[in-house]
Structure 1
Amino acid sequence: MLQIIKTQYQIIVYLMGVIVGKSLNRKDLDEPVQKPYRKLQIDDLPIIDVPETLDYRKLLADYEAQHGRPLRPIQRRAKAKHRVPDSLTCPRCQAPSSYLYANNGGKGQYQCKVCQCRFNHRNRFTKQAVFRCPHCKKTLEKIKERKEYNIYKCKNNACPFYQANLRRMTKKERQQFQQDPQAFKVRYLFREFLFDFLPLASSSLIKPKVDLSRLAASPHVLGLVLTYYVNFGMSSRETAAAMKDIHGVSISHQTVLNYANSVALWIKPFVDRFPYELSGSFCGDETYIRVKGRWHYLFFMFDAVKKIVLSYRVSPNRDTLSAIKAIDDVLRKLASLPDDLSFVVDGNPIYLLAQHFFAQHGISFDVRQVIGLTNEDPVSEEFRPLKQIIERFNRTFKGNYRPTHGFGAEEGSVSFVTLFVAYFNFLRPHSALEGRVPVVIPELADLPHMPARWTKLIAMAQAFLQQEAA
């Protein structure tokens, strides 16, 4: 009887699994499948060849100046068997079809009389760039198209990178490679990103619609609110209670948040566009904040010597585009790009992918990755002090952020981070700078207390916006 019951139970479990669409067997639930995954590996930058482009008008003018006569268009035979389409132009110099030969008997190859370029519809001059393997110099082949990037692979079997990876395999790995080659990464890969984002492009200055002069509170009260809320890291409710109990000013916690959001809108352009004097020692890291009950990622970029926050991007995703925008914030603040520009970051591969993206746009820099908690490689040993500096900065931010218990909207998180960065850069004395603030502004340093400095900083931000708009 017991055996019959067990058999019936197994049948019921099987039928329920068919109906529900997943196994209800307790053994399956207790023992999940441990399937190892291959971590994302980022290879070195490829060799990027940018095709030369010419102007046929200039070439025609140069020809006439050199030979004393113009270069005449092609005189075609009336009964020519192979014709050049009228819409076809030279991809190298943009010469019209009247200067193009049908070069190989109608098989698709053409030659430009102006620049001598031979081409067809798949010619390399129709591409924005040609990617070559840095190990064997062979042209990479596009193998996949994704929503945000294309994947290129080196298919040269004699490539040193490919051969070295094969030699590195154990006997067991070689057998597995024969059965499942997709489980191993042995060839050189490169990702060409297609983000709708142009590095170093000037962004439009948005003037906030909030008029701080119409706030019911006085400037001193506004400065007190910001001092408690930002400097001392008090929550909005604690700030409202302090204003009531200490200063006798009755405001709600929502009013505190409204003040913070309004001030952040005015101060953000000033913080982002201030002409900082930078050292060139840049480090970056991500930390977490709570927005709408979910963890968001906060990307910080930091000048480790001057103690200046250069980027503070809040993103719901820990992805390559966020890293690109964070690095771009730093590049915008540089008067010129130094040859030895580098960023010290953790082992997250998104920064290497960001490096590849900027290389596609002609912007080069090095990425120094400090991996783990111990110095297992020379790079980590050399640059760990810089990484520890931004880790310490993250702890400082968390000390101010923690009492907020997260934010109910994206705007609230951005406003709080903006105010914290303004406080850290312009108002907060730093022990590593002998008690000075990272960015010394004489108009702020001469004021007697922090509320007055906040109100002065707001006034300077408003004047900055008016000057930019003029």
Structure 2
Amino acid sequence: MDIILYLLSVIQYLYQQNCWLISFICRYIPLKQWAFDDSHSPKYQKFKVDVLPKVQIIQHEWNWQLLIPYLEHRYLIKIKPVSRRKECDIPKNCSCPSCGAPQPYLYRNNGKAGQLKCKVCNSNFSPDENRFAKQFTLHCPHCGKALVAKKERKHFVLHKCVNPKCPYYLHNLKKVDEQDLKEDYGKNKYKLHYIYREFTIDFFSMDLNSLPKNASSLKFSKHNAHVMSLCLTLHVNLGLSLRKTSQALKDLYNISISHQQIANYCKTAAVCIKPFVDQYPYQKGNTFIADETYIKVRGIKTYVWFIMNAACRSIIGYQVSDNRGVGPCILAMRMAFRGLTKLPENFKFIADGYSAYPLAAIEFVKKFGKDFSFKITQVIGLTNDDAVSKEHRPFKQIVERLNRTYKASYRKTNGFDNIEGANYDLALWVAYYNFLRPHKHNRYKVLNEVEILQGADNMPGKWQLLIFLGQQTILNMQKTDAVAQERSCCQ
């Protein structure tokens, strides 16, 4: 009996020691630092995206006709028009932007420098630059100070918190190496202040159904729809160039057709098929994978954005752009989120370390609220140096394999002559990848089975049915737009 009591006391003592060790580790040893050692380095601070700023709405509710009797009744102050010693040079149509007081209540505050002052509300203003026209101001979420517009770029304005006592700035300043602090402008190597990008273009109002121009019609004068589908099969499925497709048609079927006519057929097919591919109700799981690669258009780099569903491997978002900015990323993500009113539970968006994806995620939160609030899981580098890369590396390899598959079909073109050619080529390739190409991981079946395509015995027939489905999608879109216009007119 004494042995049992002794063992129980030992167990209680060991339990207390374990509790003390766990509390010590949680308090003094940052376990997250082991997994994300590089992410806490100040050198990687420039790749991070700050949270949204605080927005302060500016409301000007003063009215000079109500303000004058109020001041007289409340403070016994009688406000009369300005008694001038010489002729007034202020325009008669000039009024106070704050309370609306007319020209008799205005006078020059600093002589000929241009600043005016209102006698009613004591507001200073300039007739050329009206600071009261602002509807809101942006403030730092850490210190509450107003942000200062520092730079203007093509699609956004860069706002910065210049408060030297901002806790966010002081926290980042502690991580900077002492040698850099001793150097002149050494702090400029790091991103220390809070920064916010205000985009001047609404990427959510842009049309996602942009189609290539200069496409030919489906009224055939020399050839027929079967020849067109043969061109698509040889060019898209088998990966032949336009000239080799023309040669193959001549050698196999004795059909004389130029490579330019084949290109026109491909543009026409892209016009018809792209709406069906984009509007198709794909299965969307809780994990999306995104990546970007580059192609050449007249020898200049052009970027292709891909977003995949990790579960079914379908391409649910794609975009061709002449830049690697946030705008094309938002357009590709809009295409991927099409049809979703709310993100699924435990949603993950996996991408590389490029900062355009976190910026795009912030814009979705601004536009749609908390229902589209998500974080970007960034797999950085080529080796698994941290726990995040080790866990999500297989997902990243999927989209990297997709890039190599697309590059294999692109390599035969040796670059495109214009971005429209890259657009229609990508649209046809995505249609082939999602609906016609057999995949090994899906037991050599297509990713998305369409019932009407199962009735075709050969690939040219499937291409003709895809064109038919695209035409039906276009007609449905036109009917929907017509009904929406009628409702708006009735209202």
**Is contact 1:162-1:187 (8 Å) kept?**
yes
Aligned to 1:35: none
Q: 1:166 aligns with which of 153, 173, 179?
A: 173
1:318 matches 2:324: yes
1:37-76 matches, within 5 Å, as 41-51=46-56, 76=69
What is the CA distance between 1:358 and its match in structure 2?
3.5
Paired with 1:419 and 1:211, the residues of 2 have a C-alpha distance of: 17
Paired with 2:60 and 2:150, the residues of 1 have a C-alpha distance of: 33
> How many aligned residue pairs are there?
401
TM-score normalised per structure 1? 0.73
1:243 matches 2:258: no
Aligned to 2:460: 451
Unmatched 5+ residue regions in structure 1?
1-37, 57-71, 110-120
What is the CA distance between 1:75 and its match in structure 2?
6.8
Q: 2:286 aligns with which of 275, 280, 302?
A: 280
**Is contact 2:307-2:315 (8 Å) kept?**
yes
What is the CA distance between 1:419 and its match in structure 2?
0.4
Residue identity in the other structure for 1:329: M
What is the CA distance between 1:355 and its match in structure 2?
3.0
What is the CA distance between 1:276 and its match in structure 2?
2.2
Aligned to 1:343: 349
Paired with 2:295 and 2:198, the residues of 1 have a C-alpha distance of: 28
Residue identity in the other structure for 1:408: D
1:62-461 matches, within 5 Å, as 76=69, 79=80, 106-108=121-123, 126-128=134-136, 130-133=138-141, 135-176=142-183, 179-181=184-186, 183-199=188-204, 210-214=216-220, 216-338=222-344, 341-363=347-369, 364-461=373-470
Paired with 2:60 and 2:177, the residues of 1 have a C-alpha distance of: 55
Aligned to 1:22: none
Paired with 1:156 and 1:104, the residues of 2 have a C-alpha distance of: 33
Paired with 1:200 and 1:382, the residues of 2 have a C-alpha distance of: 36
What is the CA distance between 1:438 and its match in structure 2?
1.9
**Partner-residue secondary structure (3-state), 1:283:** strand
What is the CA distance between 1:452 and its match in structure 2?
0.6
Greater mean deviation of Cα atoms: 327-336 or 259-268:
327-336
Paired with 2:79 and 2:323, the residues of 1 have a C-alpha distance of: 63
What is the CA distance between 1:344 and its match in structure 2?
1.4
**Partner-residue secondary structure (3-state), 1:301:** strand
Structure 1 residues 394 and 54, CA gap change in structure 2 (3 angstroms):
same
Paired with 1:240 and 1:401, the residues of 2 have a C-alpha distance of: 18
Unmatched 5+ residue regions in structure 2?
1-42, 70-77, 84-92, 103-116, 125-129, 480-491
**Is contact 2:68-2:79 (8 Å) kept?**
no
**Is contact 2:58-2:136 (8 Å) kept?**
no
Residue identity in the other structure for 2:308: F
Greater mean deviation of Cα atoms: 387-396 or 422-431:
422-431
**Partner-residue secondary structure (3-state), 1:107:** coil
**Is contact 1:47-1:137 (8 Å) kept?**
no
Paired with 2:428 and 2:273, the residues of 1 have a C-alpha distance of: 8
**Is contact 1:285-1:345 (8 Å) kept?**
yes
What is the CA distance between 1:233 and its match in structure 2?
0.8
Residue identity in the other structure for 1:330: A
**Is contact 1:43-1:189 (8 Å) kept?**
no
Structure 1 residues 308 and 335, CA gap change in structure 2 (3 angstroms):
farther
Paired with 2:209 and 2:95, the residues of 1 have a C-alpha distance of: 38
Paired with 2:79 and 2:390, the residues of 1 have a C-alpha distance of: 75
1:139-166, CA deviations, whole angstroms, 9 ceiling, x for partnerless residues? Answer: 4333333343222223333333322333
Paired with 2:380 and 2:212, the residues of 1 have a C-alpha distance of: 42
Greater mean deviation of Cα atoms: 272-281 or 139-148:
139-148
What is the CA distance between 1:454 and its match in structure 2?
0.5
**Partner-residue secondary structure (3-state), 1:288:** strand
1:260-294, CA deviations, whole angstroms, 9 ceiling, x for partnerless residues? Answer: 11111221222222222211321111112222232
Q: Which has the higher helix share?
A: 2
Paired with 1:293 and 1:202, the residues of 2 have a C-alpha distance of: 28
Q: Identity rate of aligned residues, in percent? A: 33
**Partner-residue secondary structure (3-state), 1:265:** helix
What is the CA distance between 1:122 and its match in structure 2?
5.4
Residue identity in the other structure for 2:50: L
1:277-321, CA deviations, whole angstroms, 9 ceiling, x for partnerless residues? Answer: 211321111112222232321111221222221222222222222
**Partner-residue secondary structure (3-state), 1:332:** coil
**Is contact 1:154-1:187 (8 Å) kept?**
no
Paired with 1:391 and 1:205, the residues of 2 have a C-alpha distance of: 26
**Is contact 1:345-1:368 (8 Å) kept?**
yes
**Is contact 1:311-1:329 (8 Å) kept?**
yes
1:83-118, CA deviations, whole angstroms, 9 ceiling, x for partnerless residues? Answer: xx996688xxxx9889xxx99974329xxxxxxxxx
